[in-house]
Structure 1
């Protein structure tokens, strides 16, 4: 696969602030630029939907990753069964 470099001038503070957000998503600036360009090329539009999870979402993700919490989760055999259980609650 052929590769090329992309260069752009940007305010140092903007780059630093953006890098902090991007790193919170588990990426680096180069990864983010690659993702951005691939989405533009694939979808034909500018994607601005990436966001850092808020505190409530982070807490929910940490809770579900906890083995003790996972052990307490109710398992369902089908989506229909799960929907019935959700309707009752």
Structure 2
């Protein structure tokens, strides 16, 4: 199978960090990119979840509520898992 070259733009810090990681894994940048593309083609999708790692507004509110509760000195006690789930709203 013949090969072709591509050009990829990325910031220099990401490139440096990627090269260091791939070197630890016994790969170079070209091999890592080829692995990514082959896996994407095989799965017919991006082979990992693309999303925002930051919590949404609802999660942030729940985190703040829980932090305030814990800061109050109260300790939640539950005798059944169902009570915990109910307290958590799930």
TM-score, normalised by the number of residues in structure 1:
0.50
TM-score, normalised by the number of residues in structure 2:
0.49
Where relative contact order (Cα < 8 A, 6+ residues apart) is larger, the structure is 1
The structure number with the bigger radius of gyration is 2
Is the helix fraction higher in 1 or 2?
Answer: 1
